[in-house]
Amino acid sequence: MTNITLAEDVLKNRKIKIGVLLLLDFSLIIFSYFLSYIFRFYLEDMSFLEVMTYFKGNFSKIILAAAIYIIALAICKQYNSIWSLAGVSELSKGIIAITTAYLINIIASLVLTNRIPMMVTTLSAIFIMAFCNGLRLGWRILRRAVIFGTAIKNKDFKKVLVIGAGTAGALVVRELDRRLELEKKVVGLIDDDKQKLGTYIDGVRVLGNRHDMKQIVKEKDVEEIIIAIANLEKKILKELINECKDLKVKVKIMPGLNEIIDGKFSVESIRDVDVNDLLGREAVKLDYSGIADYLQEKIVLVTGGGGSIGSELCRQIVRFNPKQLIIFDIYENNAYEIQMELKRNYPELNLVTLIGSVRDKVRLEHVFNKYRPNVVFHAAAHKHVPLMEDSPCEAIKNNVMGTLNVAEVASKYKVERFVLISTDKAVNPTNVMGASKRLCEMIIQAINKESNTDFVAVRFGNVLGSNGSVVPLFKKQIAKGGPVTLTHKEITRFFMTIPEAAQLVLQAGVYAKGGEIFVLDMGEPVKIYDLAENLIKLSGFEPNKDIKIEVTGLRPGEKLYEELLMDEEGLKNTAHEKIFIGKPGTFDLGKLKQSISKLMNISTDDDMGQLRNTLKHIVPTYKESAENKEVLNDISKKEIAVTTVLRE
């Protein structure tokens, strides 16, 4: 333990710290007056004894002047500051305090007889300003030099390169400089602005531009890169990340411009690169007035409101000032968490959180009869493919029967708009979960013909960061040192962020006229193996060397490729560039309910084989993986065609 850290341990007691600082300040003020007397009189050929006589004669007045300085420093909270973090703010407060005390002492000198000479008062103020502020800044400098020097000597500090030598980059440099406990040292900055090359920010040099990054990382032995450019376009961010990922260093990103403007920035805000950064998707453009038209001052119910999509829908819905928001979920922990979050962020929100199952029609009847919702977002569903392959009867009970229950009750109580959250796995399904969601789509299209409620479905692919999705799993596996596991080297998926999906669901609701299946533009499909490699590289490791990637084989019901629409559906444009309408299907509700009743009876008997066979008759596009090899081989071509259509 160094003397510095020992002193810090002693000064952790607030009373001791304040006492020590008061004593030091008082001593420095008295010493400043003593020096001022020497400058004023000793330099005029007075003897030292004569100067001491003058000093002693005015000592009581010097004590009074010192007390005024101490009071001014206390009022400016100079004894509440943390020495080790002392900076410009503390310096400016110290200057204000000392200047104020100086002016008071000048006035006192004019009023009192036998006063302290004016020049002594002025000189002492200059000395006090230098000594007292120097004491605070000096402690920080000394502490930093000792700890930093020891750390560098022992190679404890992680060497950081900052991309961006603007306001954001300067904030990162200063934050890491003052937060020594993080054990990170900025060894340089890079910026594409030629005018900044060779300049310094708080002693850290701008070493080059992004094209010099590889060389700088090697020369400076960089272990971490922080991208610190405020309000950076997604496309450019994606390019930067791609340039960084092969450098074998950890890559992080600082928050957006809003946090910087609000003054909320801290090093804790600097986050890891996520898949959304790799995708480079721009923010969704919304028709706020159109969404407000059907949500503002309306009673909105979200089933599965505690889940990944459901909770994000709730967060987005509250922005449009609903009359009341009702969260309906079977899982109380999730419901409680989103309830607490919304209450904290929107204290005026009329929020109701109800526990219940969509399987329980009686419970749904009570809820709809009591609260009379105007708009329903049906997000409650079992969605995990492998789990539903093992428990197919539960997929029918929850997804199919649950959707039929909510839809019938919504129609009975004259809900204005009903939006079903669907999935791309409903297209040419190869698993029970996908087939059950296709059947849900058929239900709302059938019931729409016989109801005054506008029933629609919104279909999209994988959602980044949702419960059970591949990205959080990969991150956990990387954090544990691997291996990262995936089911097939060629498997691809469409991806979208949770907020983007929720926003587009709300936007699709604007275009609802009844019976439509809205298909969201998911962008380009992502190869999961490439995704795993990129996440490993951006964590500072080398794939299959530092962290292995293991291919485990396709799971039951799993596709190599997902599709967004079936051949017979076709697509029509909407007013939004990322939302398309599939051609509505025609289904007989009576016959569909008979088929569902048969499925429910089979589910009750837990006859999984019979259930799958019956499901194939109801959903003709459903083919199990083993009998679907030709479909799987053909989907790659279809997927390319679908992406082309979406782009056009």
Q: Which residues are catalytically annotated?
A: 425
Tokens matching residue 104:
């008071």
- Can you give the three-state secondary structure of 487-540, one letter per residue? CCCCCEECEEEHHHHHHHHHHHHHCCCCCCEEEECCCCCEEHHHHHHHHHHHEC
Cβ-count burial of 23 within 10 angstroms (0-12 exposed, 13-18 middle, 19+ buried)? exposed
Q: Up-side HSE of residue 300: CA atoms within 13 Å toward CB?
A: 32
Contact predicate 608/393, CB 8 Å: yes
Give me the residue label for tokens 């080790």: 84
The DSSP bridge partners found for residue 184 are 158
Residue type, 283: A
Using DSSP's 3-state secondary structure scheme, residue 193 falls into coil
Taking the C-alpha atoms of residue 76 and residue 615, their distance in angstroms, rounded to an integer, is 75
Task: Tell me which residue of 108, 105, 80, 84 sits closest to 94, measured CA to CA.
Answer: 80
Tokens matching residue 178:
């003052």
Using DSSP's 3-state secondary structure scheme, residue 189 falls into strand
Using DSSP's 3-state secondary structure scheme, residue 46 falls into coil
- Can you give the three-state secondary structure of 195-262, one letter per residue? HHCCCEECCEEEEECHHHHHHHHHHCCCCEEEECCCCCCHHHHHHHHHHHCCCCCEEEECCCHHHHHC
Question: What does each C-alpha distance from 227 to 169, 196, 236, 586 come to in angstroms?
Answer: 8, 17, 11, 52
Residue type, 464: L
Q: What angle do CA 544, 496, 558 make, to 5 degrees?
A: 60
Contact predicate 205/212, CB 8 Å: no
Taking the C-alpha atoms of residue 398 and residue 396, their distance in angstroms, rounded to an integer, is 6
Taking the C-alpha atoms of residue 184 and residue 158, their distance in angstroms, rounded to an integer, is 5
Helix axes 308-317, 498-510, angle to 10 degrees: 60
Using DSSP's 3-state secondary structure scheme, residue 579 falls into strand
Contact predicate 497/281, CB 8 Å: yes
Give me the residue label for tokens 């005054």: 452
Contact predicate 561/527, CB 8 Å: no
Helix axes 608-618, 432-448, angle to 10 degrees: 40
DSSP summary character for residue 625: G
Taking the C-alpha atoms of residue 390 and residue 380, their distance in angstroms, rounded to an integer, is 19
Considering all CA atoms of the chain, what is the largest pairwise distance in Å, rounded to the nearest integer? 116
Taking the C-alpha atoms of residue 298 and residue 639, their distance in angstroms, rounded to an integer, is 39
